[in-house]
Amino acid sequence: MNSIKLSGLADKLNQQMASLAPQERLTALRQALPGRVVFTTSFGIEDQVITQLIASAGLDVAFATLDTGRLFPQTYTVWQETEARYGMRIEPFYPDARATEDLVRAQGINGFYNSVDARKACCGVRKVEPLARSLAGAQGWITGLRADQSDHRSGLEFVSFDVQRNLLKLSPIFDWSRDDCLRFTQEHAIPVNSLHGQGFLSIGCAPCTRAIAEGEPERAGRWWWEQDDKKECGLHFSADGKIIRPGASA
């Protein structure tokens, strides 16, 4: 599909989504797109919910994950448990070896602590570029974004047209709370990352993630040394932290 058709389809689907259940949203996207649809999972509680929804509906969706090389051991454990539970392989995408070597050579092994630009450069090599490969040729991208994860994310929609990648992006549990996700995983005995029970509500790379204190926002544990209230890695927002919207350029 060309960009005009995809943009129009995004508007049409988005009008329907609020009245549908999450699994119906996933089915609607899959039926609307003739091409490849990819779900990128980081094995957080939201992604585990979506994995169950896709698997139980038997939808033709490719599963992918970005292994940055700096994940928690507990993340690899839930990765293994998830593959065993659903009888599948989740395709890994790793950072380019040469780019990673150049990054570490330039800024040091933990150079991302030195500045926001250095941290974004690390995210670019370890996450953004591998994501581009995972979505190559796809018409649809499924994510675990929720509106109440941060004020910044509340400005997103169920379905949007990703201009940069020329695909539709669906967040099927956009209107769910964290408690909704927790309840769903318990009801269906879904594997979850053990770090969630230790105060790690949003889990990324080990050096860049900490547990949060009571009353802190859900994503306060990500890149906690930065003061910016729009902290993102570049997967869902442009380099300057703005939401990527139809007709916009990053």
Predicted pLDDT at 193? 98
Predicted pLDDT at 152? 56
Indicate the number of domains in the chain: 1
Q: Catalytic positions, please?
A: 233
Predicted pLDDT at 35? 96
- 191-216 residue pLDDT tens: 999 999 999 999 999 999 999 999 89
Count CB-CB contacts under 10 A for residue 87.
7
Predicted pLDDT at 230? 52
Predicted pLDDT at 75? 98
Note down the domain range covering 16: 3-193
Predicted pLDDT at 188? 98
Report if residue 200 sits inside a domain. no
Radius of gyration of the chain (CA): 17
Predicted pLDDT at 148? 84
CATH number of residue 163's parent domain: 3.40.50.620
Predicted pLDDT at 151? 62
Predicted pLDDT at 236? 44
Report if residue 85 sits inside a domain. yes
Report if residue 37 sits inside a domain. yes
Low-confidence ranges of the chain (pLDDT < 70): 150-155, 228-250
Report if residue 169 sits inside a domain. yes
Report if residue 244 sits inside a domain. no
Report if residue 68 sits inside a domain. yes
Report if residue 47 sits inside a domain. yes
